[in-house]
């Protein structure tokens, strides 16, 4: 799954909250999977498909560009 | 001075700004769409950020994406180039709000000069001549007749909702007025849905003369002489030159004076261009001001020896302009030809992969380009792939050098307008300096077989 916007990638909604997903988590289409912060706005990024998280490609707090790989997802039937 | 600048543009101008930053020791951030991943401006910048898919609206015009890219890279200033966001007052305002320096004039100035009617009112108030006109919509034949008498025939009746040269009718004399008024109004209704028309003085064979100006935040405002850009096709410039064969010292003094008055009227800062139309009678009229660096800026750089991009950056960093008006003089003559990726006969854009790319060199030739062999010219943006600028001690020498340059410019894999440029450079009227905005009328698009 690639980034739809430019910004800073966060795994959790706030510094002391739990991450949205871990490796092995299952997500439904439309579920918030991460935050990308851009210009002080926290954009909630949703999973595009029902899937299992295979890998979290970028590190927490890493700047990301449009189209950058964020997660490897295995689609669930 | 800035430590890092983000260039919110693509193609040759993005590369131009990036290389100027290198000379100034400033780090650069290139932004690009997915279609420009292998673009030269991306390769030469210190950092690059992909900001969106190919469509301009979602990438180069995407303000939040551009600003996010500045945020994550720590850029302090943004150079907008030309086109795209360069004259977007809202963008300039948002930059200011978030603490980024927009390299250009203040948002209020962009907005004021961006509104064509407001710009004309502003400069007229400063004593600058503008095209005599009705100043409003035509109401009836009697009022129209009086306005035409005041302006003086021939006059032009224009559709208020028109533009780009459409919906206009020339009226040669008073006897012709009623018929043309009627026709213009119904044509306007059919073409634009609104029958409203207004009137302007008709300039038969005007010449497009523009003056480069430069202001800083220390109270300095100066001009860098003129460029003539009369050779245009459908309002797209093809060839520009400096100085203009139409200007003698006296006319130049009057026109540069009017340009400075226009810029001073809005407290202009940074680089800008004031455009005029010069009538055969020797009268000139302000038409608009472009509040950005222009495509044809190299022509001015070649005759003055000034690097306009570096001056833009210095001014934006709060430094004074690095020279005075008295230091400037026109040295020799420069001509620029825009090279577009298009079919030379039909003018249809010709995107695709460049197989061979050999740029001309030698004395007095400068090429500004972001194209290269094996580069793919994407279909999403404008078709200009290079600018060839020739400088000589005289206009004649500049013309000879340009012809030599065009002849040795090899581009294979896509079609270009090089042959059209060669035709222009060997045209007798061009060589004699007999130019007007009607020049390209003699280079019509050939009718294709079967279309007669």
Q: What is the mean pLDDT of chain B?
A: 94
Question: Can you tell me the ipTM of this complex?
Answer: 0.90
B444 pLDDT band, cuts 50/70/90, is confident
Its sign, for the CA torsion A52, A55, A60, A65, is negative
Region B150-156: what's the mean pLDDT?
Answer: 92
- CA separation for the pair B273, B443 (Å, rounded): 28
DSSP state of B166: -
**Average pLDDT over every residue of B281-285:** 94
In chain A, which residue's Cα lies nearest the Cα of B71? A39
Contacts of A67 in chain B (CB under 8 A): 34, 50, 53
Is B260 strand, coil or helix? Answer: helix
Cβ–Cβ under 8 Å, residues B155 and B201: yes
The verdict on B191 touching A (C-beta cutoff 8 Å) is no
Fold that domain B133-201 belongs to in CATH: Dna Ligase; domain 1 (3.30.1490)
- Per the annotation, the verdict on B252 as an active-site residue is no
Nearest-CB residue to B52 (from A38, A66, A68): A66
Q: Look at residue B51 and give its three-state secondary structure.
A: strand
Determine contact: A7 vs chain B, CB below 8 A: yes
pLDDT in tens, B167-221: 788 999 999 999 999 999 888 888 888 888 889 999 989 999 999 999 999 999 9
Q: Is the pLDDT of residue B372 over 70?
A: yes
Q: Who wins on pLDDT, B206 or B447?
A: B206
pLDDT at B167: 75
* Amino acid B209: pLDDT: 98
Q: Could you tell me if B419 and B344 are in contact, meaning their C-beta atoms sit under 8 angstroms apart? A: yes
B299 touches chain A (CB under 8 A): no
Distance CA B89, CA B98 (A): 14
Which pLDDT band holds residue B329 (cuts at 50, 70, 90)? very high
The angle subtended at Cα A23 by Cα A19 and Cα A28, nearest 5°, is 75
CA neighbor of B150 nearest in space, from B167, B135, B128: B135
Lowest-pLDDT range of B72-86, B89-103, B130-144, B244-258: B130-144
Determine the Cα–Cα distance for residues B292 and B86; give it in Å rounded to an integer: 6
Q: CA-based diameter of chain A, in Å?
A: 37
Confidence tier at B451 by pLDDT (50, 70, 90): very low
Of B266-280, B290-304, B334-348, which range is least confident? B334-348
Residue B252 has pLDDT above 90, yes or no: yes
Residue B446 in this model has a pLDDT that exceeds 70: no
B207: helix, coil or strand? strand
Report domain extents, chain B: 4-89, 133-201, 207-442
The CATH class of the B4-89 domain is: alpha beta
Which A residues in the span 12-71 are in contact with B, Cβ-Cβ below 8 Å?
38-39, 63-68
Residues of B in contact with A9 (CB under 8 A): none
3-state secondary structure of A65: coil
Chain A residue with CA closest to B32: the answer is A66
Predicted pLDDT at B194: 84
Give the per-residue pLDDT at A39. 85
Whether B57 and chain A come into contact, CB under 8 Å, resolves to: no
Helix boundaries (H) for B205-307: 249-265, 297-304
**B34, B51, B98 member nearest A6 (Cβ):** B51
Q: In what order do the strands lie in the sheet with B47-52?
A: B47-52, B27-33, B4-7, B77-79, B101-102
DSSP sequence for B237-252: EEEEEES-TT--HHHH
**Interchain contact B71–A (C-beta under 8 A):** yes
Tell me what the mean pLDDT of segment B323-337 comes to.
Answer: 98
Q: Does A67 sit within 8 Å of B68, measured CB to CB?
A: no
Catalytically annotated residue among B292, B338, B366, B401: B292
Cα(B124)–Cα(B133) distance, integer angstroms? 12
Per CATH, B133-201 and B207-442 having the same topology is answered no
Distances (CA, A) of B390 to B44, B334, B401, B425: 25, 6, 6, 12
Does B162 touch chain A if contact means CB atoms closer than 8 Å?
no
Strand, helix or coil at B322? coil
Mutate to test the interface with A, among B8, B33, B68, B72 (most CBs of A within 10 A): B68
CB contact under 8 A, A67 and B64: no
- Lowest mean pLDDT across B271-280, B304-313, B438-447: B438-447
Q: Are strands B376-377 and B101-102 parallel, antiparallel or unpaired?
A: unpaired
Best mutation target, A2, A3, A5, A6, to test chain B (most B CBs within 10 A): A6
Query: Which positions in chain A touch B68 (Cβ < 8 Å)?
Result: 5-7, 38-39
Disruptive mutation site among B72, B94, B100 for chain A (greatest number of A CBs within 10 Å): B72
Q: Which residue has the higher pLDDT, B452 or B426?
A: B426
Q: Which of B175, B250, B213 is nearest to B328 (CA)?
A: B213
CA distance A72 to chain B (A): 20
- Distance between first and last Cα of chain A: 17
Looking at residue B242, its pLDDT comes to 98
* Alpha carbon of B69: minimum distance to chain A alpha carbons (Å): 6
- Residue B52 contacts A, CB cutoff 8 Å: yes
In A, minimum Cα distance to B95 occurs at: A39
Residues A38, B64: C-beta atoms closer than 8 Å? yes
Ranges of chain A whose pLDDT falls below 70: none
- If one looks up domain B207-442 in CATH, what number appears? 3.30.470.20
With a pLDDT cut of 70, the percent of chain B lying above it is: 97
Residues of A in contact with B49 (CB under 8 A): 6, 65-66
pLDDT at B448: 52
Cα separation, B221 vs B126, in Å, equals 16
Contact B50 A5 (CB under 8 A): no
Flag if B68 and A39 touch (Cβ within 8 Å).
yes
Residue of B nearest to A8 (CA): B72
Tell if the CB–CB gap between A6 and B72 is shorter than 8 Å: yes
Cβ contacts below 8 Å, chain A against chain B, sum to: 42
Residue B150 pLDDT exceeds 70: yes
Distance between A59 CA and the closest CA of chain B, angstroms: 15
pLDDT of residue B302: 98
Residue B95, chain A, CB below 8 Å: the answer is no
- Confidence check: pLDDT of B452 > 70: no
Tokens representing residue A24 in the block: 């092995």
Radius of gyration of chain A (CA): 11
pTM of the model: 0.92
- CB-nearest partner of A66 from B50, B67, B73: B50
- Mean local confidence (pLDDT), B277-306: 96
């Amino acid at each position: 799954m690639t980034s739809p916007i430019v910004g800073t990638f966060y795994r959790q909604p706030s510094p002391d909250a739990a991450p949205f997903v871990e490796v092995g988590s299952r997500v439904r289409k439309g579920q918030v999977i991460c935050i990308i912060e851009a210009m002080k706005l926290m954009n909630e990024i949703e999973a595009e498909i029902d899937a299992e998280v295979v890998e979290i490609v970028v590190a927490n707090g890493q700047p990301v560009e449009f189209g950058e790989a964020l997660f490897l997802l295995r689609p669930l039937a | 001075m800035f430590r890092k600048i983000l260039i919110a543009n693509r193609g040759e101008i993005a590369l131009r700004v990036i290389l100027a930053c290198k000379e100034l020791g400033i780090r650069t951030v290139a932004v690009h769409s997915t279609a420009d991943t292998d673009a030269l401006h991306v390769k030469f910048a210190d950092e690059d950020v992909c900001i969106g898919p190919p469509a301009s609206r979602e990438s180069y015009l995407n303000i939040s994406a551009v600003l996010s890219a500045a945020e994550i890279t720590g850029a302090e200033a943004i150079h907008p180039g030309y086109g795209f966001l360069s004259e977007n007052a809202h963008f300039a305002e948002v930059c200011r709000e978030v603490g980024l320096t927009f390299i250009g004039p203040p948002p209020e100035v962009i907005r004021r000069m961006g509104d064509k009617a407001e710009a004309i009112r502003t400069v007229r108030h400063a004593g600058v001549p503008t095209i005599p006109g009705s100043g409003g919509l035509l109401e009836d034949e009697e009022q129209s007749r009086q306005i035409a008498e005041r302006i003086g025939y021939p006059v032009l009746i224009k559709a208020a909702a028109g533009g780009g040269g459409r919906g206009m009718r020339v009226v040669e004399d008073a006897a012709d007025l009623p018929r043309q008024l009627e026709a213009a109004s119904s044509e306007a209704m059919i073409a634009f849905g609104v029958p409203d028309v207004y009137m302007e003085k008709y300039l038969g064979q005007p010449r497009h003369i523009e003056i480069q100006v430069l202001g800083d935040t220390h109270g300095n405002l100066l001009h860098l002489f003129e460029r003539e850009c009369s050779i245009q096709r459908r309002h797209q410039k093809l060839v520009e030159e400096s100085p203009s064969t139409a200007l003698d010292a006296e006319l130049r003094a009057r026109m540069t004076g009017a340009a400075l008055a226009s810029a001073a009227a809005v407290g202009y800062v940074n680089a800008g261009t004031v455009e005029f139309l010069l009538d055969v009678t020797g009268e000139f009229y302000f038409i608009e001001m472009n509040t950005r660096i222009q495509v044809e800026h190299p022509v001015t750089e070649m005759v003055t020896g000034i690097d306009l991009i570096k001056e833009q950056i210095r001014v934006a960093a709060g430094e004074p302009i690095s020279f005075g008006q008295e230091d400037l003089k026109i040295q020799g003559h420069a001509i620029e030809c825009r090279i577009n990726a298009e079919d030379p006969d039909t003018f249809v854009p010709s995107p695709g992969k460049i197989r061979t790319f050999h740029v001309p060199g030698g004395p007095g030739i400068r090429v500004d380009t972001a194209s290269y062999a094996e580069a793919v010219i994407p279909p999403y943006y404008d078709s200009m792939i290079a600018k060839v600028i020739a400088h000589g001690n005289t206009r004649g020498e500049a013309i000879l050098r340009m012809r030599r340059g065009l002849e040795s410019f090899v581009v294979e894999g896509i079609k270009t307008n090089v042959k059209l440029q060669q035709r222009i450079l060997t045209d007798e009227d061009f060589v004699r300096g007999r130019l007007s905005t009607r020049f390209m009328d003699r280079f019509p698009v050939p009718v294709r077989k079967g279309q007669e």
